[in-house]
Structure 1
Amino acid sequence: MHDMTSAPDLFSKFDDIIALREGLLATGQEDPFNLVMEKVLSPTRAICNGRETILLGTYNYMGMTFDPDVVEAGKQALADFGSGTTGSRVLNGTYQGHKEVEQALKDFYAMDHAMVFSTGYQANLGIISTIAGKGDYIVLDIDSHASIWDGCKLGDAEVVPFKHNDIEAMEKRLRRIPEGAGKLVVLEGVYSMLGDIAPLAEMVAVAKKYGAMVLVDEAHSMGFIGENGRGVCEQAGCIDDVDFIIGTFSKSVGTVGGFCVSNHPKFEIMRLVCRPYVFTASLPPSVVATAETSIRKLMHGSNKRAHLWENSKTLHKGLRELGFQLGTAEPQSAIIAVIMPDLERGAAMWEALIKGGLYVNLARPPATPANMTLLRCSLCAEHTEGEVGEILRIFEEAGKAVGII
């Protein structure tokens, strides 16, 4: 028998977070990170912990998850093509549906190339790690999504972060990069923690001045922001200067998967050299069918987009008037972040909301900027005016009960 007592426990690095979680749950608090949706009634309502609950934390921005055409397309594909492809895109995993969803993306963005991944996380992981490798430089916003950081790590490029949304800081970093090195600037349209947008027109112009390629992650803006729903790039008028747009199917599109669109003439080689694309099974036929149907409908979603903006403005104004501290002075997206004084009161407020029939996201450090605890609200185009009123009433009651307002 080996003596195991002296061996280091690989779990001991998590002791602090285990203690934090146990401390929260010891007070009888419902676990905010273990919520179960027992039944989903619509894009805006579900049964959670036995109660009917308004959903205000799902990224289901355009409410496409129960669209009858989308659901029908998924059922049909399941019947016609079975439950999965059991193979990679470069082997047996490209079905008719995969070509069709890529065509829908090319039409949606009016771009030459579209490549679909099995998740949005994999899209960032794959594209970033493949185009920026050893000896190349990636200049990125410090508040970038985890999948962006992981893509940088996987590709082994030199990573140069700059202060969030700071154009001058970004330029300073670009200026210092050695002559002749490959450069990639990575930005997001909407940052998911505070719901703020990037000054893309200025940033893309600076990146181009220094000869860098630009990748913009539009996960939280696709479908909703911009005249055609193409995101903040479209709204800022710089979509033609961006080399790669990354997006996901798990937000406005309403299913799962990730993608990259580009006009780069050599882009198609990515299908052979991008490891997270080559070495994973492709999306099931039912998923690509729902995604394609949803994307084509989002091309005509201007009424929904307008209603979602109304919802966002109403909720932002209402929460501010109640005395809550918000992440942005004005609503910039469908995300409204309510800043909590600390994790304990944030968790108590989350629990008061869920007991009142409202689900929001509790976001905590280290995922949040500046160690903030946030209650993150993501609105849906299917929320009615009445539901937004109800949301404000629940927030007011909970806020007073917990002593936040």
Structure 2
Amino acid sequence: MSLLDKYDQVSARHKRLLALGRDPFDVCMDRIVSATEAIIGGRDVILVGTNNYLGLTFDPDCIAAAADALAREGTGTTGSRIANGTYASHRELEEEIAAFLGRRSAMVFPTGYQANLGILAGLAGPKDIILLDADSHASIYDGCRLSGATLVRFRHNSPADLDKRLERLDGEAASKLVVVEGIYSMLGDQAPLDEFVDVKQRHGVELLVDEAHSLGVFGERGRGLAEAAGVEEEVDYVVGTFSKSLGAVGGFGASDNPGFERLRYTSRPYMFTASSSPSSIATVLATLEKVRSRPELRRQLWENARALYKGLMDLGFSVCAEASPIIALKMPNETAAVFMWNALLEAGVYVNLALPPGTPDGSCLLRCSLSASHTPQQVKRICEVFEQSLHALKGWQAAQSAAE
């Protein structure tokens, strides 16, 4: 018996998806044309599933900064931060992130996934308790497991349920950490941070907010949902990624806690992995400056998000949350979702397909993410393609019913 035999059922399910068209989990971008366009299978496609919220991946200044760093410092560091992998630019970026967020200190990681692993596994240990939102990202769950802490899940976006669970734990001597996200990546819904802060204060626990999808998107200065909600001072730890609004690769953790720097020599995911390449660091330094100096990008992003939200609502789609840069549509079943995803791609629009078990409540989703770089004409075209694909789905469903 092979170790891989346990995946037989998953493989069979994958084959059923392939019977409906392309492989939704192995899409190859033949060529990226811009922040919102690509060539896929020889066809021009509008990208509506990239998390490229501010459209900075093709910004000339950011590209120039990366190219300059590549020429000056080479392709990679070939070492970890505690060995030879700390360059002046790593320190500079950490200082810039801390200053941008108004925090005492920050740590940089090679990926956003590792940022959650490193911060959570460094903060908590076997004698601690982590209370996390049930819909938290896989990297949060993995970081919690790596920490060895006791995990307590509370209902998604429910301060009342968190409050009840903390009440039951009030007699416990263990340190407690609450973990939530700013925007949840599947549905695009926002955490009620002000209410979570009230619960946190009442029970005297610490709070970590993952601003991966909300950094650059929310707040007057783009610092995230905590800034927009006016609760930054009550958030003890911030985690985020460079692969969304900042258009690069990497992640960070930041805090005002004077002991935060201890994680540099206690967090294994930070200590034992090669550090980010100089070009990646230079890119983030450049994009961070764009977030500071170009608030109009956030305004354009939200205009695009509201326009697509209205267009899809008018077409009768079941939209999972209020308007945000992530707009998820709930489909009736897996077959309908996969058919629709293929129809959209065939007509020139790429979105994300999200299926159980990686979705909340076993939902089958078509997930869109908008960019400041989408033009009004592109948003209009996206709505037109959704309408055409919906008609195609209804026709296909009618034909299937007639054949049964």
- Give the TM bin, normalised by the shorter chain: over 0.9
Q: Paired residue for 2:287, among 291, 294, 305? A: 294
Match status 1:191 vs 2:184 = yes
Amino acid at match of 2:333: D
Amino acid at match of 1:260: G
Q: Paired residue for 1:401, among 392, 397, 404? A: 392
Amino acid at match of 1:137: I
Match status 1:159 vs 2:159 = no
Partner residue in 2 for 1:254: 247
Q: Distance in 2 between matches of 1:196 and 1:250?
A: 19
Partner residue in 2 for 1:44: 36
Partner residue in 1 for 2:213: 220
Q: Distance in 1 between matches of 2:294 and 2:98?
A: 17
- Find the residue that maps to 2:8 and give its secondary structure: helix
Compute the displacement of 1:91 (Å).
Answer: 1.1
Partner residue in 2 for 1:99: 91
Q: Distance in 1 between matches of 2:335 and 2:63?
A: 40
- Find the residue that maps to 2:3 and give its secondary structure: coil
Match status 1:351 vs 2:304 = no
Amino acid at match of 1:335: I
Amino acid at match of 1:403: K
- Find the residue that maps to 1:11 and give its secondary structure: helix
Q: Deviations for 1:94-138, whole angstroms, at most 9, x for unmatched residues? A: 111111211221121111101000100001011111111102100
Compute the displacement of 1:9 (Å).
Answer: 2.3
The runs of at least 4 consecutive aligned structure 1 residues that moved more than 3 Å come to none
Match status 1:278 vs 2:278 = no
Q: Paired residue for 1:174, among 160, 166, 188? A: 166
Match status 1:269 vs 2:262 = yes
Q: Distance in 1 between matches of 2:201 and 2:123?
A: 17
Using the TM superposition, name which of 128-137 and 376-385 deviates more. 128-137
Q: Distance in 2 between matches of 1:144 and 1:82?
A: 36
- Find the residue that maps to 2:215 and give its secondary structure: coil
Q: Paired residue for 1:211, among 204, 207, 210? A: 204
Amino acid at match of 2:138: A
Q: Deviations for 1:10-39, whole angstroms, at most 9, x for unmatched residues? A: 112211110011122134x11111100111
- Find the residue that maps to 2:30 and give its secondary structure: strand
Q: Paired residue for 1:121, among 113, 127, 131? A: 113
Q: Distance in 2 between matches of 1:374 and 1:55?
A: 17
Q: Distance in 2 between matches of 1:26 and 1:389?
A: 31
Q: Paired residue for 1:57, among 49, 61, 64? A: 49
- Find the residue that maps to 2:116 and give its secondary structure: helix
Q: Is the 8 A contact 1:108 1:296 kept in 2?
A: no
Q: Paired residue for 2:8, among 12, 15, 22? A: 15
Q: Is the 8 A contact 1:35 1:49 kept in 2?
A: no
Q: Distance in 2 between matches of 1:278 and 1:303?
A: 38
Q: Distance in 2 between matches of 1:114 and 1:63?
A: 25
Q: Distance in 2 between matches of 1:217 and 1:81?
A: 31
Could you state the TM-score of these two structures normalised by the residue count of structure 2?
0.96
Q: Deviations for 1:121-167, whole angstroms, at most 9, x for unmatched residues? A: 00101111111110210011000000000011111100000111111
- Find the residue that maps to 2:33 and give its secondary structure: strand
Partner residue in 2 for 1:379: 370
Q: Distance in 2 between matches of 1:248 and 1:269?
A: 21
Where structure 2 has 5 or more consecutive residues not aligned to the other structure, the ranges are 398-404
Amino acid at match of 1:182: S
Where structure 1 has 5 or more consecutive residues not aligned to the other structure, the ranges are 1-7
Q: Paired residue for 1:134, among 126, 132, 136? A: 126
Across the two proteins, how many residue pairs are aligned to each other? 395
Using the TM superposition, name which of 17-26 and 49-58 deviates more. 17-26
Q: Distance in 1 between matches of 2:345 and 2:19?
A: 18
Amino acid at match of 1:110: G
Q: Is the 8 A contact 1:195 1:337 kept in 2?
A: yes
Question: RMSD of the alignment, in Å?
Answer: 1.1
Using the TM superposition, name which of 293-302 and 48-57 deviates more. 293-302
Q: Deviations for 1:62-81, whole angstroms, at most 9, x for unmatched residues? A: 10100000000000000000
Could you state the TM-score of these two structures normalised by the residue count of structure 1?
0.96
Q: Deviations for 1:258-305, whole angstroms, at most 9, x for unmatched residues? A: 101111111111111110000000000000000111011111231111
User: What fraction of aligned residue pairs are identical, expressed as a percent?
Assistant: 51
Q: Distance in 1 between matches of 2:19 and 2:222?
A: 45
Q: Paired residue for 1:34, among 16, 26, 41? A: 26
Compute the displacement of 1:208 (Å).
Answer: 2.3
- Find the residue that maps to 2:179 and give its secondary structure: strand
Q: Distance in 1 between matches of 2:65 and 2:104?
A: 25
- Find the residue that maps to 2:39 and give its secondary structure: strand
